[in-house]
Structure 1
Amino acid sequence: MSRNGSQARVAAAVAELPPTARFDTVNAIRYLLSGLVDVHNPTYCSGSLHFAISKIDDMRNFSDKCWSIFYEFLFVERTEEQVQALLKKLSKCTCKEDAKGIHRRYVAVRDSRRRVMQSLNRDVEESTGPASRETEWFFESAFNQVRERLERVDVVDVTKGVGKSWPRKLSDLLPGGPDVIVQSIIRWQRTIPDSFMIPRATIRLIGVCQYTLHDSLIKYNTMNNLVLEPTRNRLLTYISKLEAGESIDVDDFVTVVSNLVSYTSQVCGQAMKSGLLMSQGEIKALQLCSLILYIADALRPRIKTSRNFENAYDFTSTVGYLIIRDFNMRSPDRPNLKLHPAIVAKDIVKTSSPSQKETPEHVAALAMIAGREHHLCSCLTCELSFSQVGNAFKMCNNCQTVGYCDRACQVKDWKDEKYPHKGICEVLKKVVQARGGWRAPLPFEFQDMAVEGLAVTKGDLVILQLEALMTEMKERGKLTEDEWESLLGWGKRLYEEKVMGGKSRMGSVYNPGYDDYEVILSRFTGPKGLKGSIPVFIPRSDDIPDDLCGGEVDLLAHMEKMMKSLDIPIPI
């Protein structure tokens, strides 16, 4: 695009700003877009562009055309040579003075900051990656703006293509296709290895695009490249600082933890392909969760703890439990893995909870929720979903539980050899009607379970209710023996093939973790270590007593007794 064409595009975008936008905000937006509209040859340096973003009081003032220019700059397809040329261009200030004085004001702020650092006898912080520090700040700010925008998005409206503002449809977020977006994300993470905002923006982007991005996330090993390796590097830095008696920025630590647990829990929570999305990194993720808890234990006496810190601690142990559960870590053919005791304790408590027992009824309830809430195409051989086909996705009018991406899948599932929807449809309809329909409120007895800690979300409570309802219907003869067996068989097959997305077949597959994990662990638990808790092994499924309830048993004492009975040495 010619320079005149680029500036016309900027002018059109600015013309759509709301009349209530402040004058200074309009000037900053015009400056920012003028600098970014040529995606390979930005007009201004990263410092002045970052300053312009800081002067935009509310990015909600952005029009659709503003967002299109801004987003395209971040996610356009670039070669490695183009990326390096871009970084060089952004890092070197050759800016000409603009009429509104944005660059002049940026230079004044930059020089003032440098004088302050000099007065404190401190060097200006240098970058650890290929980009300059100010370029890193610009991209952190830019990705944060994308994240904040996506936090306000109605996912269903965007998937249907009826969003009320940018992004109005999924194609707005995937201008070059899923592969280009994922490659761009990984490239920026490699360019800015200490980034907090790139993973956070990506987590939200996946939440909006859902299954549309899955194949590309798997293809480019996003779990390792974006999450695991950057997290491991940060944790090793924290451990070295603890050993040297140096301070650690607690907010930074919490953000690193949040990125890992958010991405991992999102992967574990996917209704499809979660095993593949983990990219064989489940043991590495579990090891990192363990190290995070050891770092937090060592850090706690040195800081004033906060709710965010304690929440991060609890969420980390929960994600550790999710990995153990979803990837069959209790299976006999899985390796003995030493972990922070908080993870193993959480696993024991959760495993003993009635809401976590995978009875046939529980599996059937999960399958029903997957069809109703996750909108998976119920044709067994199809991997599409509502998030990929939008309004073409249709729910079954009769049972209101399963849906299909197109007519062909509906016909195929209707005539399925083993569990044809022609037969299971009326059974599902019976269960849904007995509940009073999908929109019926929960009975009080199930609402009370949230208080007792048996379930934590409405979805968990509905699953518990469906389990109880199906069992009651069978006992009262409202479901025949054939209907009961058909319902459980259908649920088991859909659960294993779609809900688990390959995880149910991973029990015999051992994906190794980090070779030096136990060496790193010894830096906490060894004789000269940071005095961390004694690590414990993951218990096998048969080792957990049925009558164990959270909080009523000394978990560590139970684990010690369990390991002795198995003739497993207690790790020291």
Structure 2
Amino acid sequence: MSLARPRKNYFFTSFLSATPEYNYCGTCLLGVFERKNPFPGSLKKAQFISDFQKDGMLLNLVMRFLFTVRTDKEIEEIFDRMEPCSCPMEDQEIHSYHQLGNVVEKEIFPMLTGAENATPAICLMSNLLRLVSVALDNAHVRTVAKGKSTIWPTSPKDLIPFGAENLVQRLLQWSRLIPDAMIFRFAGQCITFCGALVLPSFLAAKFTRHVVQAGRNLADHAWRAVQKPNPQTRRQIGISFRRQSSCIASFLDSTLDDQTIQTSTDFIDGVEIKSIQLLSIFNYLVTDDRLPLEGGSESIKAFLLNFDLRVLKLYSLVRGNFDRVPDIYLFPTTYEVIEPQLAADRLKMAELADSKEGEEFSSDGEDIEPTRPGQSAKSRKGKARILDSFTLDGSEGSLPSTMTEEQEAQFFQETVNNAMTFLRVAKFQLRCSVFACPNSIQSTGRKFQRCTKCRLALYCGKECQLKAWKDKEHPHSKTCQVVSKLVRIGRGEDLLFYCEHPGDPRWFPEELRLKVRDCWLKGGVSADELLCIILWGARLTSSGELPKMEKPEPGWDDYQAFIGELAGSSADRQPIPLIHVPYL
């Protein structure tokens, strides 16, 4: 076939199919790619979806190209074929592609770690990963999982053309060959869209360990650049660091959101402390004046806050899994963000300990007997006793005299907030609601259905639905009534389930929480009903009793030393230790 005036799709298909007749250099292919890809060009997303994402055949070809089994040497041979330029530059179309390709190189290279060693071929592979990642940004998990999506991907199988284990191994291979953390962002998206189909393979490969190590390499690279005198070099590294660190953090989100406690714990196995330290390291680098970043002060402030909230999620998970967590030194503003929440948790633990102590020495010896919503308990102790002593509208009883008014108000608000959170988690999660069931909507597709009464509990099939309905501890036959009532009074989709950030259902503005609370107050929701939701909701994310780990992973002290180096001698940048208070 003549090279003159070739179709753009021919460039792609001949290259992606590795046909012998393709003879285009990396720069030329980058130019062709720019005509389709909105990263970092000027095409708008709507145009991108219309022009590219509906072409499922082409995107499936990209996936098959990226995840075909090859040795490192075979990939290097593909790179080598794109290095010498033998394109007929007299052809105006091809000449224009080269011009575009040169522009892309100048824009993309600074985004890569170690851009000085990047080539047009590496840049092209990076852009292919960006292509599928942007496509997933515009897709919807539920429609993809049920095979109803009209745009790519049409089902989770589009993301695993050669199986889950191959997907993970090829991602690790590309991470060694391409200096772009976009690989890890895409990996997190695969976890989100494929769920139980890929989780075992990611966990078996200890994938998060590779991600954390890549993050540490990124931080080391940025730290070396910070100390260089050339401002242009520091500016380029600043651009790269912000984008690359965001991709690392995005993967960590996928290990924490919509996962059971057991799964999240397994994901960070071996890097429990390092993952927290890494985010603190990122904050030190982001705030170093010698490393200029893109965006204004508000943008950077929001960027830092996202890191801080991830630290809180990770620490909340980690501290429950160790008999003793070492003191973790944090960036000062990170400590300021998460310490108030941890202080509130410590207060609740102390209150719970007091109630347990009173229960331990009680002489009546009666057990807690669960009750139906609206009924008073016959004999209840500890946290249940506290809850039973008041109702939301304050018409009955009062909190124990040992609690101050401030503690009473805090306990009341926390109880309401916990109930809201669990209802929202149940609404937005994509896993089976049955305790410890490993199935997700991605692995069961259209069989995955909600309870027809409360429209909240999710089941992977009839067997789990029947199991939940007759569960000994929290039978859904009883919980369903309470769930339905609180959702109805809380105005469901219009208020309680309003979700500006579907990826994080726990995020719910305080002003909306207060509105839901007021609705529940006026609707006469009882304390028992709140407790019912809290106990049921806790089982949605629980995996049973987890063994306590005696000591953290090796190497965390090296990260600690690096934090000290980043802090320097400036008084306002000195790290603050987060002192562990074990669960009681």
Normalised by the size of structure 1, how large is the TM-score? 0.72
Aligned length: 491
2:324 to 321, 333, 343: 333
Quickly say closer, same or farther: Cα 1:303–1:489, change in 2 above 3 A. closer
Give the drift of 1:347: 0.8
CA–CA separation in structure 2 for the residues paired with 1:317 and 1:433? 34
2:518 aligned with 1:518? no
Residues 327, 578 of structure 2: 8 Å contact kept:
yes
Residues 113, 218 of structure 2: 8 Å contact kept:
no
Q: C-alpha deviations, 1:301-325, integer Å up to 9, x for none? A: 8678624433322322232222222
Give the drift of 1:345: 0.9
2:264 aligned with 1:274? yes
Q: Report what 2:372 is aligned to.
A: none
Residues 367, 495 of structure 1: 8 Å contact kept:
no
**Aligned positions of 1:66-145 closer than 5 A:** 66-91=58-83, 97=88, 133-145=119-131
CA–CA separation in structure 2 for the residues paired with 1:510 and 1:423? 41
Residue 228 of structure 1 aligns with an amino acid whose one-letter code is V
Give the drift of 1:228: 1.5
CA–CA separation in structure 1 for the residues paired with 2:168 and 2:317? 25
Residues 496, 516 of structure 2: 8 Å contact kept:
no
Q: Report what 2:335 is aligned to.
A: 344
Give the drift of 1:379: 1.9
Residues 36, 69 of structure 1: 8 Å contact kept:
yes
Quickly say closer, same or farther: Cα 1:460–1:88, change in 2 above 3 A. farther
2:172 aligned with 1:182? no
Give the drift of 1:74: 1.4
2:137 aligned with 1:151? yes
2:277 aligned with 1:292? no
2:25 aligned with 1:33? no
Aligned-partner SS, 1:510: coil
CA–CA separation in structure 1 for the residues paired with 2:15 and 2:310? 42
CA–CA separation in structure 1 for the residues paired with 2:138 and 2:28? 27
RMSD: 4.4
Q: Report what 1:14 is aligned to.
A: none
Q: Report what 2:439 is aligned to.
A: 384
Q: C-alpha deviations, 1:227-286, integer Å up to 9, x for none? A: 212221121122122234343232212112212222223322233322222243231121
Q: Report what 2:303 is aligned to.
A: 312
Quickly say closer, same or farther: Cα 1:78–1:291, change in 2 above 3 A. same
Give the drift of 1:540: 4.1
Quickly say closer, same or farther: Cα 1:536–1:148, change in 2 above 3 A. same
Greater mean alpha carbon deviation, residues 408-417 or residues 397-406 = 408-417
Q: Report what 2:472 is aligned to.
A: 417
Residue 70 of structure 2 aligns with an amino acid whose one-letter code is R
Quickly say closer, same or farther: Cα 1:371–1:525, change in 2 above 3 A. closer
Aligned-partner SS, 2:434: coil
Give the drift of 1:144: 1.6
2:222 aligned with 1:238? yes
Residues 436, 542 of structure 2: 8 Å contact kept:
no
Q: C-alpha deviations, 1:166-207, integer Å up to 9, x for none? A: 222222222112222222211111111x21432333344434
Q: C-alpha deviations, 1:339-379, integer Å up to 9, x for none? A: 21111111123446799999566555444333322132122
**Aligned positions of 1:453-492 closer than 5 A:** 457-458=507-508, 479=526, 486-492=532-538
1:256 to 219, 225, 244: 244
CA–CA separation in structure 2 for the residues paired with 1:127 and 1:534? 27
Quickly say closer, same or farther: Cα 1:514–1:357, change in 2 above 3 A. farther
CA–CA separation in structure 2 for the residues paired with 1:375 and 1:465? 26
Residues 423, 537 of structure 2: 8 Å contact kept:
yes
Aligned-partner SS, 2:573: coil
Structure of higher RCO (CA pairs closer than 8 Å, 6+ residues apart): 2
Residues 317, 343 of structure 1: 8 Å contact kept:
yes
Q: C-alpha deviations, 1:92-141, integer Å up to 9, x for none? A: 55x57599666566667889999x9xxxxxxx999969996121111112
Quickly say closer, same or farther: Cα 1:378–1:300, change in 2 above 3 A. same
1:165 to 126, 151, 154: 151
Residues 30, 100 of structure 2: 8 Å contact kept:
no
**Aligned positions of 1:416-565 closer than 5 A:** 416-436=471-491, 438-441=492-495, 457-458=507-508, 479=526, 486-497=532-543, 510-526=552-568, 533-541=573-581
CA–CA separation in structure 2 for the residues paired with 1:357 and 1:201? 41
Q: Report what 2:207 is aligned to.
A: 222
Q: C-alpha deviations, 1:25-81, integer Å up to 9, x for none? A: x82222221121238996544333223212446654232222222221112233445
1:48 to 1, 24, 28: 28
Give the drift of 1:413: 2.0
Give the drift of 1:334: 0.9
Quickly say closer, same or farther: Cα 1:461–1:125, change in 2 above 3 A. closer
CA–CA separation in structure 2 for the residues paired with 1:295 and 1:538? 20
Percent identity, aligned pairs only, is 19
Residues 126, 133 of structure 1: 8 Å contact kept:
no
CA–CA separation in structure 1 for the residues paired with 2:252 and 2:19? 32
Greater mean alpha carbon deviation, residues 300-309 or residues 276-285 = 300-309
Normalised by the size of structure 2, how large is the TM-score? 0.71
Aligned-partner SS, 1:417: coil
Quickly say closer, same or farther: Cα 1:466–1:178, change in 2 above 3 A. farther
Quickly say closer, same or farther: Cα 1:431–1:524, change in 2 above 3 A. closer
Residues 362, 464 of structure 1: 8 Å contact kept:
no
Quickly say closer, same or farther: Cα 1:357–1:495, change in 2 above 3 A. farther
Aligned-partner SS, 2:465: helix
Residues 239, 295 of structure 1: 8 Å contact kept:
yes
CA–CA separation in structure 1 for the residues paired with 2:13 and 2:411? 51
Give the drift of 1:158: 1.3
CA–CA separation in structure 1 for the residues paired with 2:515 and 2:548? 29
Q: C-alpha deviations, 1:406-461, integer Å up to 9, x for none? A: 1111122222232222333233333333334x324359xx99xx9xxxx9844887
CA–CA separation in structure 2 for the residues paired with 1:349 and 1:400? 35
Q: Report what 1:564 is aligned to.
A: none
